[in-house]
Amino acid sequence: MTTDFRPGRAVLVGAAESDLGAVGEGFSAIDLMAQGVYRALDDCGLPVGEVDGLFCATSQNRLAGLALAEYLNLPEAYIDSTSTGGSSFMGHLARAEAAVAAGLCKVAVVAYGSTQRSLGRKNTSRPEWNPYESPFKPFLPPTAYALAAARHMHEFGTTREQLAEVAVAARQWALLNPAAWEKEPLTVEDVLASRMVSYPLTLRDCCLVSDGGGAVVVTTPARARALRKPPVYLLGSGHCTTHLTISNMPDLVNTGARVSGSLAYAQAGLTSSDIDVVGLYDAFTINPILFLEDLGFCAKGEGGAFVSGGRIAPGGMLPVNTNGGGLSYCHPGMYGIFLLIEAIRQLRGECGRRQVPGAEVALAHGNGGVLSSQYTVILGGASTQ
Amino acid sequence: MQTDEQAGSGAPYARYVRHLKAGELAYQFSPVAGRAVFFPRVRCPYSGQDCLEWRISAGVGTVYSTSVVYPRKGDPYNVALIDLDEGFRLMSRVVMDDPMQVAIGQRVRFQAVAEAELDDPIPVFVPLESAP
């Protein structure tokens, strides 16, 4: 679906991560969510008392919106705690903009927190029993993505080496990001030689399991004017849900990103060639390959070749996942918020050694479930207004 | 084509399982949409109409994709997606000595099996050429 919000009706003014990595015993998901909110507000200079819209999700709190309202002491805030998995925050951003534009709130935060590394995945994201899949013991989510990767290899000749190139490029970006979890170089051979998880995906084809959270702040153009950071604009967004369970995905090598991207591009009046910096939800190495194809950066089936030879790495032809991605920077369960944070920072020119010079338009593509929910947003810097 | 003409049904999953217990792989067919429906539902997802028929699959299909899960404890095992010839897809496993030998495009045949840890039988597949 798409919503008719024109750019400029609400703007992004703050962005921050919580503590990342392994935060230590005793922290709750909401601790990190709130820490992200406070830091994002500090980033732009807004006091928490002005926040009147809460958009959040986490697998650890069924009533995440209530938990955040309680924690921040905001009893009257507008709440949206829709979960579409890792893409939730792209949806939150789109609806926060709509809510601000509609006057439902004036200062909205989009927030996430997770302690899945400290508590263990099985304690933080309990699998739901599905009688048509669970008896076969797919190791989810990796097996779902492995099935897509195997089909992509079968149809297009994509190789495990090409999958590994995605992890290697992510690692090279991560080495330029002081906040990234991984600190050592990685080679294609390292990826291929690491422990097999669900063929054809090894441990290094899979994202990190970390703690972490973060938030972004959305407000009216008028309120943004007096703040300390230049605003970032939501130029377009689009969403597509093709399935929930992998056995119901219509086509394993064509994702809903084709639809979500088309909607976002149309709304922004842009094409893939206008994008300066790309963020793709890289829970597994097959994801960027699929999304680069479906978002129009290369033809269907050519994603494996496209990511090879350092073309999405630092110094390559297209900067993808400049923070190091879910593969090497952090991945606390639902990663979408971090794609938004990095896009905002790139558009503000705050990224230090990994800064894409002159970045004016950023694409952040969220993925939820098992290639189930695809949510594309396109953000622009000051020059896009 | 084998069908299940029984009126009414209760829960879609319960009716599906009744067939599995009889060694049959049941699926639904929408005459309005002209296509198979799986997993079983209370109504046709393409038309919204109360038109679904229950049919029994011939049990022959093709491996659409395959993976091998490597658990931290225990032996690697196969997980596959199977496209049945009647036009529906399900998750299953192909029973072979070496799970890495399961191949996309391979023709397979359905068997219902009961497993000690599961309440209900499940559909698994064996290579078509080695089926009895």
CATH number of the domain encompassing residue A17: 3.40.47.10
Chain A residues with CB-CB distance to B100 below 8 A: 199
Half-sphere exposure of A87 (CA within 13 A, CB side): 26
Least CB–CB distance from B91: residue in A133, A146, A252: A133
Domain B60-130: which topology? OB fold (Dihydrolipoamide Acetyltransferase, E2P) (2.40.50)
DSSP 8-state code for residue A290? H
- Alpha carbon of residue B131 to chain centroid: 16
> How far is B6 from chain A, CA to nearest CA, in Å?
23
Chain B residues with CB-CB distance to A132 below 8 A: 39, 90-91
* pLDDT tens, per residue, chain A with 385 residues: 444 445 567 899 999 999 999 998 899 999 999 999 999 999 999 999 999 999 999 999 999 999 999 999 999 999 999 999 999 999 999 999 999 999 999 999 999 999 999 988 777 777 889 999 999 999 999 999 999 999 999 999 999 999 999 999 999 999 999 999 999 999 999 999 999 999 999 999 999 999 999 999 999 999 999 999 999 999 999 999 999 999 999 999 999 999 999 999 999 999 999 999 999 999 999 999 999 999 999 999 999 999 999 999 999 999 999 999 999 999 999 999 999 999 999 999 999 999 999 999 999 999 999 999 999 999 999 888 7
* Residue in A281, A220, A217, A292 with CA at minimum distance from that of residue A253: A292
- Residue A176 belongs to a domain: no
Beta carbons of B67 and A148 less than 8 Å apart? no
Chain B residues with CB-CB distance to A143 below 8 A: 67, 69, 79
Name the pTM for this structure: 0.96
Beta bridge partners of B67: B79
Chain A residues with CB-CB distance to B13 below 8 A: 131
Query: CB contact, 8 Å: A311 with chain B?
Result: no
* Contacts (Cβ under 8 Å, ≥6 apart) of B8: none
Contact B100, B110 (CB under 8 A): no
The region that residue A8 occupies, defined by phi over 0 for left and psi between -120 and 50 for alpha, beta otherwise, is left
The boundaries of the domain holding residue A23 are: 11-122+208-384
Give the angle A366-A275-A9 at the CA atoms, nearest 5°. 70
Q: What is the dihedral of CA A297, A298, A303, A309, to 10 degrees?
A: -80
CB–CB contacts below 8 A, A to B? 71
DSSP 8-state code for residue B90? E
Chain A residues with CB-CB distance to B70 below 8 A: 195-199
Nearest CA in chain A to B115: A135
Nearest CA in chain B to A146: B67
Query: CB contact, 8 Å: B106 with chain A?
Result: no
Distance in angstroms (rounded) separating the CA atoms of residues A47 and A55: 17
Distance in angstroms (rounded) separating the CA atoms of residues A309 and A324: 17
Domain count for chain A: 1
Nearest CA in chain A to B120: A131
Nearest CA in chain A to B88: A248
- Residue A357 belongs to a domain: yes
Nearest CA in chain B to A134: B91
Domain boundaries along the sequence of chain B? 2-56, 60-130
Chain B residues with CB-CB distance to A154 below 8 A: 65, 104-105
Give the pairing type, strands B60-69 and A107-114. Answer: unpaired
Least CB–CB distance from A136: residue in B68, B91, B105: B91
* Residue in A368, A342, A294 with CA at minimum distance from that of residue A177: A342
**pLDDT, tens digit (0-9, with 9 covering 90-100), for A227-256:** 999 999 999 999 999 999 999 999 999 999
Beta carbons of B65 and A151 less than 8 Å apart? yes
Half-sphere exposure of A186 (CA within 13 A, CB side): 29
- Residue A217 belongs to a domain: yes
- In one-letter notation, the amino acid at residue A158 is T
Helix locations, chain A, DSSP H: 29-44, 64-72, 88-102, 116-119, 121-124, 142-156, 160-174, 188-193, 221-224, 257-268, 286-294, 303-306, 325-328, 336-348
**pLDDT, tens digit (0-9, with 9 covering 90-100), for A335-360:** 999 999 999 999 999 999 999 999 99
Query: CB contact, 8 Å: A197 with chain B?
Result: yes
- Residue A188 belongs to a domain: no
- Residue A156 belongs to a domain: no
Burial class from Cβ neighbours inside 10 Å (0-12, 13-18, 19+) for residue B2 reads: exposed
* Residue in A87, A81, A3 with CA at minimum distance from that of residue A255: A87
